[in-house]
Amino acid sequence: MDLPIAWSLLLIVSAVWSFVIWPPFLRRVLKDERARDADGKPTTFLRVHVALISVSLTLAVAVGVLGILTLA
């Protein structure tokens, strides 16, 4: 696929940005008092945030790979 270098770099930067931002956010969510109920079981708050972060990081991998492939 032909893509201008600037667009390829934008995809790579976007992927890196996601990997910089989401892991610290996950650590904060895991420490949040709303993440577990009184019995220590995961709450909907935790499950939703883990799902959102998982999807975001999966998309970051795809975008990063696409950015790298379009550089060649």
Greatest extent of the chain over all pairs of C-alpha atoms, in Å: 54
What is the count of structural domains for the chain? 1
Q: What is the pLDDT of residues 32-41, one digit of tens each?
A: 999 999 999 9
Tokens of 12: 């790579």
Cβ–Cβ < 8 Å for 64, 16: yes
pTM, to two decimals? 0.89
Task: Please give the residue range of the domain that contains residue 60.
Answer: 5-71
Q: What is the pLDDT of residues 36-71, one digit of tens each?
A: 999 999 999 999 999 999 999 999 999 999 999 999
